């Protein structure tokens, strides 16, 4: 306990010595040195008191305690710097100019910090996104876990994982992105998105029967989601300008050089899109494999003309 305050005690003793020298007509500079050492000693004492047993009592987490200590140290050093300037600069006009220069320097140095702080206020007031929302911003995609004063913490999705599944990474995004960046919110005001599965069929396939059968399957498996999406679209229409959107499953046909593409479009929950796509893909494959009227196409290369094949022995 005593060892924690040795430095402060020595500074107070040094302050007393400087004061005595000042009284003994050695000059006003010793008074200034005395006040400077006293301020430094008080900063040490306050830091030890605040970050000592008091911090351990109220902050149990070691990481939070470390961050708190760093913050207190920065605040006390800023206070000390202002106090030292006040002691050594007697001219009020010069002091005002000095403070102005310091303020400009701090503003330039901390402009990103200020932008992040303003961004945090914008997020809190406007509700661009909230905790639990699934968003994409700054090239990062994930679920919002925490919105701090300066940064937003997300659980990263996708990344090196092929699908909207967590990677385990926590992405820390500066709040200033809401001021100058683009935010894609997948769960704001509604919880659905449109998804597609593309199936290539050979030209020999009965594609009309395939469309009928696949569409029946989509309606059966995603009918409840379509009904829910209809209700959410009605709600959105009360808040935004939103032309009527079709939520019923549909299939679009596209012709290519090698096959007929069927684009199966349906509504999925934004959080379980991959699970829904996996389920539908398995069911569609079962239908295709158990039916000889249509088959999956693959890219074919037709070689025309007479060609001579020569095998060369490398030995």
Give the best-scoring range by mean pLDDT among 33-42, 79-88, 113-122, 257-266: 257-266
- The reported pTM is 0.58
Q: Give the pLDDT mean for 178-197.
A: 87
Q: Give the pLDDT mean for 186-199.
A: 87
Give the best-scoring range by mean pLDDT among 7-21, 68-82, 217-231: 217-231
- H/E element, 14: helix 6-21
The sign of the torsion formed by the CA atoms of 68, 70, 71, 75 equals: positive
CB 222 within 8 A of CB 233: no
Q: What pLDDT is attached to residue 255?
A: 92
Tokens 């008074």 sit at which residue? 31
* Range of weakest confidence among 26-30, 109-113, 132-136: 26-30
Is 190's pLDDT higher than 60?
A: yes
Q: What pLDDT is attached to residue 214?
A: 94
Tokens 């940064």 sit at which residue? 151
Q: Give the pLDDT mean for 52-72.
A: 71
CB 161 within 8 A of CB 167: yes
With H, G, I as helix, E, B as strand and everything else as coil, classify residue 134: strand
CB 199 within 8 A of CB 283: no
Q: Give the pLDDT mean for 174-203.
A: 88
């Amino acid at each position: 306990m005593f060892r924690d305050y040795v430095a402060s005690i020595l500074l107070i003793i040094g302050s007393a010595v400087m004061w005595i020298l000042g009284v003994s007509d050695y000059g006003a500079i010793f008074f200034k040195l005395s006040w400077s050492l006293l301020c430094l000693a008080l900063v040490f004492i306050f830091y030890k008191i605040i970050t000592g047993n008091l911090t351990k009592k109220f902050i149990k987490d070691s990481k939070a305690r470390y961050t708190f200590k760093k913050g207190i140290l920065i605040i006390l050093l800023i206070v000390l710097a202002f106090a030292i300037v006040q002691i050594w600069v007697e001219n009020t006009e010069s002091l005002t100019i000095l403070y102005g220069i310091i303020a400009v320097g701090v503003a330039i140095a901390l402009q990103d910090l200020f932008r992040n702080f303003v961004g945090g206020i914008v997020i809190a007031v406007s509700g661009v996104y909230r905790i639990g929302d699934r968003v994409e911003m700054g090239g990062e995609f994930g679920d919002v876990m925490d919105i701090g004063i300066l940064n937003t913490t997300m659980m990263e999705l996708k990344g090196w994982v092929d699908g909207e599944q967590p990677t385990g990474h926590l992405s820390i995004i500066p709040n200033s992105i809401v001021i100058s960046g683009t935010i894609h919110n997948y769960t704001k005001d509604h919880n659905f998105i449109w998804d597609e599965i593309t199936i290539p069929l050979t030209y020999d396939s009965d594609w009309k029967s395939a469309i009928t059968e696949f569409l029946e399957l989509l309606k059966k498996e995603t009918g409840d989601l379509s009904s829910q999406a209809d209700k959410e679209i009605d709600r959105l229409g009360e808040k935004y300008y939103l032309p009527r959107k079709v939520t019923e499953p549909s299939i679009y046909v596209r012709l290519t050089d090698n096959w007929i593409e069927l684009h199966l479009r349906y509504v999925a929950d934004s959080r379980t899109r991959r699970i829904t796509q996996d389920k539908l893909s398995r069911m569609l494959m079962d239908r295709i494999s158990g039916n000889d009227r249509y088959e999956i196409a693959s890219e074919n290369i037709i070689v025309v003309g007479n060609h001579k094949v020569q095998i060369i022995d490398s030995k």
